[in-house]
Amino acid sequence: SLRASSSAAPDLLTTFAKDMGVLIKLLRNPAEQPDEERFRRIRLENPAIARVLKHAGVREVLEACGFADGSSAEHLELGAVDAHADALLRRAIVKVEAVLHMLQELHWLYSAH
């Protein structure tokens, strides 16, 4: 899961935190702009997306929010963002932000020594 991945070596904390920021953006964009189709489609071949998806639990978070394999194997797609999908996205954002905050605290602790 995401919390388990956050216990990685200290030198990986910065990269992992950056990747969680990307995940938050992937979740926040369709929640804030549900009618914007480009925010409901994730291109898996994008290098930043591919890097983020390598972390344990990331794909599961996206799928729990309604993202599913698209019409091609190159995308994950989210259907229309109704009230239920919006609630799932916003709840996931809060949880991933908590992981990001924990990473920032760990980074601070490691860099303070």
What mean pLDDT comes out for the span 55-64?
95
Give the integer Cα–Cα distance in Å for 79 and 58: 19
- In this model, does residue 5 exceed pLDDT 90? no
Average pLDDT, whole number, for the chain?
Answer: 89
Query: Per-residue pLDDT tens for 63-78?
Result: 999 999 988 889 999 9
pTM for this prediction: 0.85
First to last CA, the chain: 28
Predicted pLDDT at 68: 95
CATH of the domain spanning 2-111: 1.20.58.2190
Predicted pLDDT at 11: 63
Start-end of H helices in the chain: 2-5, 13-32, 47-53, 58-64, 83-111
- In this model, does residue 14 exceed pLDDT 90? no
Predicted pLDDT at 110: 74
Query: Per-residue pLDDT tens for 31-50?
Result: 999 999 999 999 999 999 99
